């Protein structure tokens, strides 16, 4: 197509646009695409950051809930031991030195326990591991004592958990777990209480590797806060965000079967702060890409101007070349027409020659049949063998005449038709003939002709001489692949077989199998086809004879024949 046609009105818009305008349009699209992709990646990372924070909060809440469950479980075990040490319902509460030593031993073995307390039915302190003797103290007005004394209303007379901001014996908040002492039915004997220091819990929470500021809250199901801890690189920002009511990413989880919940909250501002740090990376990438597009666009504009100048010179060269091409094309078309006419004439001539050869062979066969009718039996057998060989060549000429390839033939199809004709015309004993040729074999006519005569000789000889009168057998013909591209033709019968020495057959009046002209002709034809003939007189130890004709590839066969 001429270059001027690319810029005609009927051409697409891109071909009609000037090169500089096309470059500017591509640069604008590249700039918009760069900005769009950068914004898309930034928003995707923002969503990923929020999701990561949500997953982190969820995982942390699971750890906090699991840790709280184990902490309450071990503390409750100590509390149950303290209740058991207080004795049965009718025993006095232990307040002596020996009882204090037993309770103090429980506290010394558990680092997170601050103290153990025993209170009587009026709320007076009977024993505490903080000091001995026990100081005067009354907790009748505290919620945990009221819950245990009411029994079955608030805590059901079982484990009750609450928080204590501070006491005269501790300057830090405490987590209190209490259980009622053993008492007679319907009576309240007192309660045992263990105080757990949240400092141990905070140290564990501080060991969590978080990327964000977070607050960890442990509370009862009624909303009473037992522990609230703010941690992380921006802990002050987290506390300020919580106080200001800013949005947070929260994960809430129930602590096993206890009336407690664990909550982990991450301020959205902390997540966005880290995302803003990554946002500068995308901005720098976008600016670098914009600068690269601008530089490349400038270079492309200069190149477009130079290409515009070269188009005129190229158009002139194209016009000259187009004229020469038209001339050369016309010459080639004339030459091709002449060649096609010559090939058609040769194909018609070849088909006519093959047809006439087939007709001439048929005439020769008819003359031989007329002549054979006038001579005696021994001479007639020689005429029959000659007639069979001529019919073999006539069949090949007929298949060549029908074939689309004048010089090649499908040897498998030829072998099936040849054997079909032989079993109907040359089969005095009524033997069975089977052909196994599962795949086609396209052979050159120069190689197919001697192989066809070999097959005719071997099959007709087996049908005529392999079986005694009244004992029909089976003749099998196989055409199989051999090696990479070779072919193997096998003719086998289960008849009387050949004698060990071919010369011995001269002393046998009725054995004429391949001891005369037939075997000589087979070996001569095999040499002409570049094949090798192998005779197996007792194949697989059984009766009969097997002839194996091995044919290499077409190229090797032609070389060997030459």
Domains, the chain, with CATH or none: 423-500+511-561 (3.30.565.10)
Torsion of CA 272, 275, 276, 282, to 10 degrees: -150
Residues of the chain with pLDDT under 70: 1-19, 152-157, 165-171, 207-211, 231-245, 342-363, 365-385, 387-388, 499-517, 540-541, 553-562
pLDDT score at 295: 84
pLDDT score at 510: 41
Supply φ then ψ for residue 309, to 5 degrees: -70, -35
pLDDT score at 166: 61
pLDDT score at 376: 66
- 304, exposed or middle or buried, with CB in 10 Å at 0-12, 13-18, 19+? middle
pLDDT score at 41: 80
| Sole residue written with tokens 């921006």 | 234
Q: Where are the beta strands (DSSP E) in 232-373?
A: 248-254, 260-267
Residues above pLDDT 90, as percent of the chain: 6
- 1, exposed or middle or buried, with CB in 10 Å at 0-12, 13-18, 19+? exposed
Kindly report the number of other CB atoms within 10 A of residue 163's CB atom. Answer: 20
3-class DSSP state for residue 548?
strand
């Amino acid at each position: 197509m001429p270059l001027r046609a690319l810029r005609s009105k009927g051409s697409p818009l891109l071909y009609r646009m000037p090169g500089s305008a096309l470059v500017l349009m591509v640069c604008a699209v590249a700039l918009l695409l760069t900005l769009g992709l950068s914004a898309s990646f930034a928003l995707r990372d923002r969503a990923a950051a929020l999701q990561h924070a949500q997953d982190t909060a969820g995982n942390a809440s699971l750890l906090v809930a699991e840790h709280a469950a184990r902490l309450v479980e071990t503390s409750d075990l100590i509390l149950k031991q303290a209740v058991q040490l207080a004795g049965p319902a009718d025993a006095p509460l232990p307040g002596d030195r020996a009882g204090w030593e037993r309770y103090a031993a429980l506290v010394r073995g558990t680092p997170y326990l601050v103290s153990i307390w025993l209170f009587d039915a009026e709320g007076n302190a009977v024993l505490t591991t903080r000091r001995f003797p026990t100081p005067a103290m009354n907790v009748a007005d505290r919620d945990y004592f009221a819950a245990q004394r009411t029994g079955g209303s608030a805590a059901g007379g079982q484990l009750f958990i609450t928080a204590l901001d501070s006491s005269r014996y501790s300057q830090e908040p405490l987590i209190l777990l209490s259980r009622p002492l053993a008492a007679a039915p319907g009576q309240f004997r007192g309660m045992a209480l263990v105080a757990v220091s949240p400092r141990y819990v905070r140290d564990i929470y501080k060991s969590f590797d978080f990327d964000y500021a977070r607050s960890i809250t442990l509370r009862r199901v009624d909303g009473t806060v037992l522990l609230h801890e703010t941690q992380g690189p921006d802990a002050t920002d987290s506390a300020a965000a919580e106080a200001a009511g800013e949005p947070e990413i929260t994960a809430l989880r129930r602590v096993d079967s206890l009336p407690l919940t664990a909550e982990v909250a991450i301020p959205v501002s902390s997540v966005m702060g880290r995302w803003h740090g990554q946002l500068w990376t995308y901005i720098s990438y976008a600016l670098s890409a914009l600068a690269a597009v601008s530089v490349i666009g400038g270079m492309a504009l200069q190149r477009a101007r130079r290409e515009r100048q070269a188009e005129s010179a190229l158009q002139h060269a194209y016009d000259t070349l187009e004229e020469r091409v038209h001339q050369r094309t016309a010459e080639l078309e004339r030459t091709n027409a002449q060649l096609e006419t010559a090939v058609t004439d040769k194909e018609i001539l070849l088909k006519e020659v093959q047809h006439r050869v087939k007709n001439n062979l048929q005439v020769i066969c008819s003359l031989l049949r007329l002549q054979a009718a006038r001579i005696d039996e021994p001479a007639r057998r020689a005429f029959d063998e000659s007639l069979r060989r001529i019919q073999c060549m006539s069949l090949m000429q007929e298949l060549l005449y029908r074939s689309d390839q004048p010089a090649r033939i499908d040897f498998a199809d030829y072998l099936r038709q040849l054997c079909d004709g032989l079993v109907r015309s040359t089969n005095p004993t009524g033997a069975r003939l089977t052909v196994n040729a599962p795949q086609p074999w396209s052979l050159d006519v120069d190689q197919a002709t001697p192989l066809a005569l070999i097959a005719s000789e071997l099959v007709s000889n087996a049908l005529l001489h392999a079986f005694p009168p009244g004992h029909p057998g089976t003749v099998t013909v196989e055409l199989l692949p051999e090696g990479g591209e070779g072919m193997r033709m096998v003719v086998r019968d289960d008849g009387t077989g050949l004698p060990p020495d071919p010369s011995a057959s001269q002393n046998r009046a009725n054995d004429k199998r391949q001891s005369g002209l037939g075997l000589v002709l087979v070996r001569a034809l095999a040499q002409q086809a570049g094949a090798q003939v192998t005779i197996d007189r007792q194949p697989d130890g059984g009766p009969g004879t097997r002839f194996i004709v091995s044919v290499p590839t077409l190229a090797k066969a032609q070389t060997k024949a030459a």
